[in-house]
Amino acid sequence: MREPILIENGLLFDGTGAPGEIGPIAFDGTIQAVGPAALDWAKDRAAIRRIDATGMTVMPGLIDAHCHISFDEPHSNDELFFHRREGLAAIVSTYNARKVLRAGVTSLFDADSIFSVSLDLRDAIEAGIVEGPRMTCGGNALFTSVGGTAGMLVPDEGSIGYLKVTRTRDEIVTEIRRQAKRGVDWIKIHVTGLIPRQKAAGEIQVWNLDELKLAADTAHELGLPIVGHCRNASSTRDSAIAGFDLILHATFMDDAALGAVVDRKVPIVPTLTFQAVLAEHGDKIGANPELREIFRREITEGGRALRLAYDAGVPLLCGTESGFSITPYGEWHWRELQVLVDDLGLTPLQAMACATSEGARALGRHGQLGLLRAGLPADVIVVRGDVTRDVTLLGRPDGMAYVFKDGVRVDTETPLRQRGPLPSWRVSAYSAKAATREGTLGWTRAGEQQ
């Protein structure tokens, strides 16, 4: 039995997008009652714990629908691919999972994992061995031999980092079946990627429609949903046509892509947090100004089609790409809501629904998570201030007054033990610039010192 809890006087946001109301909520391991019925449930329980949430928002825990919990914040694909060990990655992921949970994220979707770390972490959390958000996850993302966003680091065959190269139709089917045997919740396809000297802006499609249909059909035959990384128009269109259950990014949609997504109501996780953080704060971390401008345009230009999709009934979920050095764990899980409000024009209430009840789609539990409703798991956060007016309150350092997962309070007050360096875990550059004679000795081309 969980300790019975009664939270009173808080502004209740139930996860549906409806306006909040001041009222009580009562729960133990599950939500027992919301509104006046909560007081009736609590009145005969002498041992109940009462919390006064005056001036605070009481809402479902956040659901991050695009989080890389196994990556541990690499600065490059080189670091991620060649400087990780499986056992240590699993241990480190338990530390990072606690950071995510403390940020109010009570559930997450990790679409691809290095080794099988995410699968093992998910199972350890479910068994109560370690503390962390509830999870669904994929295994290695399926790539074609053309490659993906890691460029020349992607091998022509085999596995590396978070990916598995599948060169033929037989290899696609075999890998999906192998991942089903390992216990994945999702199959992920990296539908777009980067190649040297490409003519198109952004990424290009590296899977054809027939291959996407084969992957989707094989996954569905095994009872698994399938998700695609799509960062151009044709990939989004073909993934929707092929029967994909979820699309990550869906940026640069044209009319055909938008029509395919709208016709099939394929949920989208825009995951624009990475771009937003780099565009807004890149000058503070030494990011290339041209890259910052590219990402800024991706948000503004891609946001128009995403808003049209949303208005046509396509579900939008909040994902953050947390797990890279640009998006560290526990720091930016709220930022996607601000993108939805500031750049797509959603109301705070609409954005909050994307981060709670809509996010449950990535857990396969739409209507069963991300809601303050009697009988559902007591994943509840209490945030200082009125989030229905200002979603950035979710990101304030002291914003989370209380976090409950399954009715158990998460310790957000005791600082986590500071971690030290791990041998060979991080990649360091020799220097920021080349040590030329002119730059170091002050010599000119004529051999004279300046």
In a domain, 145, yes or no: yes
**How do residues 70-116 score in pLDDT, each as one tens digit?**
999 999 999 999 999 999 999 999 999 999 999 999 999 999 999 99
Task: Name the pLDDT band for 301 (thresholds 50, 70, 90).
Answer: confident
| Mean pLDDT in residue range 426-433 | 71
What's the per-residue H, E or C state across the chain?
A: CCCCEEEEEEEECCCCCCCCEEEEEEECCEEEEECHHHHHHHCCCCCCEEEECCCEEEEECEEECCECCCCCCCCCHHHHHHCCCHHHHHHHHHHHHHHHHHCCEEEEEECCCCCCHHHHHHHHHHCCCCCCCEEEEECCEEECCCCCCCHHHCCCCEEECCEEECCCHHHHHHHHHHHHHHCCCEEEEECEECCCCCCCCCCEECCCHHHHHHHHHHHHHCCCCEEEEECCHHHHHHHHHHCCCEEEECCCCCHHHHHHHHHHCCCEECCCHHHHHHHHHHHHCCCCHHHHHHHHHHHHHHHHHHHHHHHCCCCECCCCCECECCCCCCCCCCHHHHHHHHCCCCCHHHHHHHCCCHHHHHHCCECCECCCCCCCECCEEEEECCCCCCHHHHHCCCCEEEEEECCEECCCCCCCCCCCCCCCCCCCCCCCCCCCHHHHCCECCCCCEC
| pLDDT tens string 6-21 | 999 999 999 999 999 9
pLDDT confidence band for 156 (50 / 70 / 90): very high
Place 450 in a pLDDT band, splitting at 50, 70 and 90: low
pLDDT at residue 65, as a whole number: 98
Q: Which residue has the higher pLDDT, 402 or 441?
A: 402
At 340-353, the pLDDT tens digits run 999 999 999 999 99
Q: What percent of the chain has pLDDT over 70?
A: 96
pLDDT for the residue numbered 12 = 98
The pLDDT, as a whole number, for residue 57 is 98
288 in a structural domain: yes
pLDDT tens per residue across span 45-68:
889 999 999 999 999 999 999 999
Q: What range does the domain containing 264 cover?
A: 62-364
pLDDT score recorded for residue 296: 85
pLDDT at 432: 61
**The pLDDT value given to residue 124:** 98
Query: Do residues 25 and 32 lie in contact, with contact meaning Cβ atoms separated by under 8 Å?
Result: no
Q: Using the CB atoms, write b or e for 246-260: b if 16+ within 10 Å.
A: bbbbbbbbeeebbeb
Q: How many distinct structural domains can be found in the chain?
A: 1
* Phi/psi at 337 (5° precision): -65, -40
Question: What's the confidence (pLDDT) of residue 292?
Answer: 79
Where residue 307 sits, what CATH number does that domain have?
Answer: 3.20.20.140
- Mean pLDDT, residues 311-334 taken together: 97
107 inside domain: yes
pLDDT of residue 165: 97
Higher per-residue pLDDT: 132 or 287 = 132
d(CA 284, CA 175): 42
Determine the pLDDT at residue 228: 98
Q: Which residue in this structure is represented by tokens 């800024």?
A: 296
**Residues above pLDDT 90, as percent of the chain:** 83
Average of per-residue pLDDT across 274-288: 84
Per the domain annotation, does 427 fall within a domain?
Answer: no
Which pLDDT belongs to residue 46?
A: 82
Is residue 246 situated within a structural domain? yes
For the chain, how many residues are written? 450
Residue 356 has pLDDT above 80, yes or no: yes
Q: What is the pLDDT of residue 1?
A: 64
The pLDDT of residue 32 is 97
pLDDT for 429: 65
Q: Which of 139-148, 259-268, 423-432 has the lowest mean pLDDT?
A: 423-432
Q: What is the mean pLDDT of residues 121-129?
A: 98
pLDDT > 90? residue 132 = yes
Q: How far apart are CA 284 and CA 278, in angstroms?
A: 9
**Residue 431: its pLDDT value, please?**
61
- pLDDT mean over 164-168: 96
Residue 447 confidence (pLDDT) = 59
